[in-house]
């Protein structure tokens, strides 16, 4: 079994991004600039935005945060989106989700200029991804593809089973794994909460991507020998440690890893790749590679 070290791969890519950014700045061009819109004071959202800002600073990007109160109207939020769409000094931006219930996230996402949509959630980017055209790809699926590529994992002709069909992970990663490309060219089965006999399906997987948010759902008896396991899940499980909890994936590492040929740990697998893929999207948007 080989551990897929997302942390290490992410560090290498970050160094390369920092090198390219230094070149940009040396040539007296402005640094790539990410803006984030943060609505309200949800601690998880605050911490996600802070880590995105930190990652930007670490590679030499500029970052800024537009804070709006919890009771902001949808119209005011749309006006902030319009402002950033028109601000030439901002190359990419995102609206941190979730939004308060009185705001329709789809309306907000649809208002973002697709060329600045570094989360890759705009229907134009989703459509371009589905058509196999260049696009800004959501960060977590993009990070998974980078890991498969970096580890030289053979995907062509393999059966890839994806657990989860969210717009953020499951759906786009299914498209990427089935597209005519390398990595890709898989036969893909998507499972979700209404799928019957999941274990029968997961046992057929050559590559298993778990993104369901159910701690240690996939156990050793649900996989075959030699499977490649990508565990996207980030779950907090209470325990008797000092912290009172531990983080775990959607895969039971103890029983699955002895059967796996490759497996991502949690933490240190997919997570670090997500942030690095966001940085790569900012660079793409900066260079206008996806207009
Ligand atoms: P969502 O809650 O949006 O989607 C979960 C998906 O899993 C849904 O399609 C749901 O089915 C399916 N599902 C839920 N329970 C089961 C079950 N018991 N059996 C089969 N399918 C099930 O989650 P996300 O996609 O946003 O995230 C998934 C996990 O990945 C979470 O743990 C999240 O924290 C983590 N994550 C990690 C990231 C990283 O950087 N490592 C980034 C993003 C997410 P249905 O559609 O029928 O409801």
Which one from 14, 96, 231, 250 is the annotated catalytic residue?
A: 96
Residue ending a domain, choose from 96, 113, 130: 113
What is the number of structural domains in the chain?
2
Q: Within a domain: residue 8?
A: no
Q: Within a domain: residue 167?
A: yes
Residue 193 backbone phi and psi in degrees, to 5 = -70, -15
Distance 194 CA to ligand 1 centre (A): 13
Q: Which residue has the tokens 């893929």?
A: 277
* Choice from 4, 192, 197 to test ligand 1 binding pocket (greatest atom count within 8 A of CB): 192
Q: Determine the pLDDT at residue 291.
A: 66
Q: Which residue has the tokens 């990070």?
A: 143
Q: What averages of pLDDT result for each successive group of 10 residues across the chain (291 residues)?
A: 98 98 97 98 96 98 98 98 98 98 98 98 98 97 98 98 98 98 98 98 99 98 98 96 95 98 98 98 94 66
Q: Within a domain: residue 13?
A: no
Could you tell me if 145 and 266 lie in one domain?
Answer: yes
Q: Determine the pLDDT at residue 25.
A: 97
Which CA distances in Å does 83 have to 18, 35, 90?
Answer: 28, 11, 10
Could you tell me if 251 and 214 lie in one domain?
Answer: yes
Q: How far apart are CA 11 and CA 178, in angstroms?
A: 28
What's the predicted TM-score (pTM) here? 0.97
* CB of 291 closer than 6 angstroms to any ligand 1 atom: no
Q: Within a domain: residue 265?
A: yes
* CB of 267 closer than 6 angstroms to any ligand 1 atom: no
Residue with the smallest CA separation from ligand 1 atom 30 is: 233
Nearest in space to 217 (alpha carbons), one of 161, 177, 171 = 161
Could you tell me if 75 and 173 lie in one domain?
Answer: no
Q: Determine the pLDDT at residue 162.
A: 99
Could you tell me if 162 and 247 lie in one domain?
Answer: yes
Could you tell me if 249 and 150 lie in one domain?
Answer: yes
Active site residue 259: no
Active site residue 52: yes
Residue with the smallest CA separation from ligand 1 atom 5 is: 212
Domain extent, residue 64, equals 27-113
Q: Determine the pLDDT at residue 249.
A: 98
Where do runs of H (alpha helix) occur along the chain? Answer: 6-26, 43-59, 74-86, 105-111, 123-131, 139-150, 170-178, 198-202, 253-256, 270-286
Q: Determine the pLDDT at residue 286.
A: 98
Whether the bond between 98 and the residue before it is cis, its omega within 30 degrees of 0, is yes
* CB of 150 closer than 6 angstroms to any ligand 1 atom: no
Q: What is the CATH number of the domain that holds 64?
A: 3.40.50.10860
Could you tell me if 218 and 143 lie in one domain?
Answer: yes
Which one from 14, 116, 117, 119 is the annotated catalytic residue?
A: 119
């Amino acid at each position: 079994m080989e551990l897929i070290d997302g942390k290490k791969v992410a560090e290498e890519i970050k160094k390369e991004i920092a090198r390219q950014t230094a070149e940009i700045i040396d040539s007296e061009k402005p640094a790539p600039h990410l803006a984030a819109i943060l609505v309200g004071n949800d601690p998880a959202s605050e911490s996600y935005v802070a880590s995105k800002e930190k990652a930007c600073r670490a590679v030499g990007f500029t970052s800024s945060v537009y804070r709006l109160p919890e009771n902001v109207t949808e119209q005011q939020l749309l006006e902030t989106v319009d402002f950033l769409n028109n601000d030439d000094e901002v190359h990419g931006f995102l609206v941190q989700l979730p939004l308060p219930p009185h705001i329709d996230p789809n309306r907000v996402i649809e208002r973002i200029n697709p060329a600045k949509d570094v989360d890759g959630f705009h229907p134009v980017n989703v459509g371009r991804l589905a058509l196999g055209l260049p696009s800004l790809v959501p960060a977590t699926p993009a990070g998974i593809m980078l890991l498969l590529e970096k580890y030289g994992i053979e995907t062509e002709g393999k059966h890839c089973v994806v657990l989860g069909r969210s717009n953020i992970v499951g759906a786009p990663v299914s498209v990427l794994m089935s597209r005519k490309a390398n990595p890709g060219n898989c036969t893909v089965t998507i499972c979700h909460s209404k799928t019957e006999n999941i274990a029968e399906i997961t046992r057929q997987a050559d590559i298993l991507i778990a993104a369901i948010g159910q701690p240690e759902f996939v156990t050793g008896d649900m996989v075959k020998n030699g499977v490649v396991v990508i565990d996207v899940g980030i779950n907090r499980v209470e325990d008797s440690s000092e912290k009172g909890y531990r983080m775990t994936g959607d895969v039971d590492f103890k029983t699955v890893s002895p059967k796996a040929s490759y497996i991502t740990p949690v933490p240190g697998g997919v997570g670090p790749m997500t942030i690095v893929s966001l940085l790569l999207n900012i660079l793409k948007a900066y260079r206008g590679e996806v207009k």
